[in-house]
Structures are given as C-alpha cells and as structure tokens.
Chains A and B, each alone.
Chain A
Amino acid sequence: MKRLTFIAGGSAALIAAVTLGVVMVAGGASGATPPAPPAISSGAGIARASLNAADQATLGRIGATGTITRVGSLAGTAFYSIIGSDGGHCYAFGSEAAGGLSGGCMPADATVPAVLDMSTVVMNPVDGSWKLDALQGIAADGIAAVGFLDGAGVLHTTPVIGNVYRLAGRSLAGGPSSQLVGLDANGKRVFTEGLGTP
C-alpha cells in the first residue's frame, strides 16, 4: 500500500513538473504577458443580450466574445470595447438607436494605440482619390482632441468627450501626407499615425 502511494505521488509530481515546464516554455515563446491597453475611464458594461441578434452574431464572427463596455456615444454613433476570445481587445461602432455594429479584434499580444480610430472614407474607384467622411473613434485618457491632417496639410480637430470623438460631414480630402493626430489638454501633439508609416 505504501509503495503504491509512493508511486502514485511520484507520478503526480512528475506530471505536474512536466506540465509546469511546458507552460513556462510556451509562455516564454509567445511573449508571456500581453501589454496593457491605454486607460479608458469612461463607459459602462452592457449585457450581450441587450444587443440585437445580428450584432451578437457579428461579435461572435469577429471573436469578440467577452465582456462588452459601451464607452460612449456622439452624434448618434455608439462606440464599444469588448474583450476578445483570446483575451485581446476588440472595438466596434454602430448606430446608437438602431444598433448595427462594425468592428474587429486585435490579437492578445498586440499593442493597443492611444487613439483607436474608426474613421470612414469615401473613395472614387476610378482615380483612387479619397475623402475622410467621418473622423471618429475612441481615445485613451489624456487625449483631449483628435485631428486629421488633410491632403493640403490643414489640421482639422474635434474634442474628445468621455473618451470618444466624432467629426462628420466635412468631406476632408486625404492625401499621402495625411495623418491622425492626438492632442493633450495643452494642445500638444502626443499621438501621430501616418498612412502606412509604422
């Protein structure tokens, strides 16, 4: 009996040690702890069941299966932050009244930018020219305004209200030098994202 207990105990310890080793190696290979996203203090959690069936299906398709936070809404557009199935971060937007979400998820090990832009464009498919239709998205704490540098080098800004921003209906012509800009409360540029320039 004692011998049996000893063998069983030894086997369990061996399995535990091997499992721990595998977990440690896997963790090290995948980069271990994912970076924390920038702080977004606004918003409130909502129940998945409060969304319509189509929106629930969409969130499932993109992998946004975790808790949902409605960060805020501006001019009839609501912005959401959702935890992804792999622990990553997902962001979506849609009509405040009618629902209808568009969005996607970043992998768990991705660095989440301080400005989560969800802007929309209108492009002429004949010549490839484009205009910014709506400057919109979620901005982290500390970003007081977000701007779009148009193709002529003019900066168009809109305030961040409760971590969300939206400026629509301006039809701002874009160009190769266009940028997304985040400003702090003093108007200092603290975030810049150019087109295709990592």
Chain B
Amino acid sequence: MTRWKLPISRRAALLVAVAGLALAVFVPAALATTTTYWGYNNLTASNPPANTCFSGSAAGIACSGWNYWDYSEADWTSGHSSWTLGLLCQSDGLIHGRLFYGNETFQTYDVLWSTFCPTHYNRDAVAHVNGGTETYNYLQARDVIYP
C-alpha cells in the first residue's frame, strides 16, 4: 500500500494555510466585545420609563451610550409586543431599526450599523412599537463592537 505523503516544506505550508483559514473564520467572532445595556427585562410601552434613553425620550425605549458600535443585538426570550431593534443615528437623532411584529420567535438577532445609519458613531437601541393589544417582550439588548 502506498502511503500518501507530502514533503516537509509542503506540509508546513499546508499547516500555515489551514491555521490562517481557521484564524480568518473564528478570530473575528472571538474578538467581538459585547456590552449589555438592557435586561433581561420586559420591554413595554411604559418600561423603561420616559427620559431613560435621553432627557425627553419617550417611554419604552432603551439605548446604549454613543460609540462606534458595529452591531445592535438582542436576545429575545418571550412576549408578543411589537418592537424594533436598531440604532439611534447621530445623523438625524431618529431610531432606525428592524421591525418585529411580535409574533416572531427569533432568538439572538443582529443588525449591522451601516444598514441603518450613514455614519458609524451611534447609539444602539431597542424600542417598543405601539400597537393594539400589546403586552411585553422579555429580552436582553446588547452592543457588539469589533476592535
């Protein structure tokens, strides 16, 4: 039986290539820093109360501080209230996000800053979206940033 064998130099090159590929795939995820700014808690029309995000903000909005956040992330656990996950953009002072009607069962959800804001320096946010017979969403909201 002939044994398949590479010369030492080729084996080393293959090892380096595999290690490089593994680094490219796994290191970005490993290097991300995640900061929790809400929850786990109920997000409702009245929680968090008014002025929580900033002085003058409506009730039902939680947000992080300003930074170059890469993703706005939420880990949804339960509830049927409509809500949005996104960013409070520095450019216009409005929250731009993905709408959830309240019947979805997504767990960890990530939204990318550049899909919603024209510039990178923003605040991550989750907000109750007013609906009819709504109750709550029990979730955790987090900032994700890469170095």
Contact = CB atoms under 8 A, between A and B. Distances in A.
A122 B25 CA distance: 33
Interface residues of B, number: 57
Given A63-B108, A100-B115, A121-B99, A56 B131 contact: no
Nearest to A198: B80
B105 A133 contact: no
Contacts of A53: 24-25, 28
A40 interface: no
Nearest to A100: B112
Interface of B: 24-25, 28-29, 32, 53-54, 56-61, 63, 70-71, 73, 80-82, 84, 86, 88, 93-99, 101-112, 114-116, 125, 127-135, 144, 146
B103 A198 contact: yes
Contacts of A174: 129
Residue picked from A119, A177, A196, most chain B C-beta under 10 Å: A196
B33 to A, nearest CB: 12
Which bucket holds chain A's interface residue count?
35 or more
Interface of A: 53-54, 56-58, 60-63, 94-95, 100-107, 110, 113, 117-128, 130, 132-133, 174-178, 180, 193-198
B110 A58 contact: yes
Contacts of B29: 57, 60-61
A106 to B, nearest CB: 5
Given A60-B29, A197-B80, A198-B103, 20 more contacts: A53-B24, A53-B28, A61-B71, A100-B115, A102-B110, A102-B111, A104-B110, A105-B108, A113-B103, A121-B98, A122-B96, A123-B84, A125-B53, A128-B128, A130-B84, A174-B129, A195-B102, A195-B131, A195-B134, A196-B101
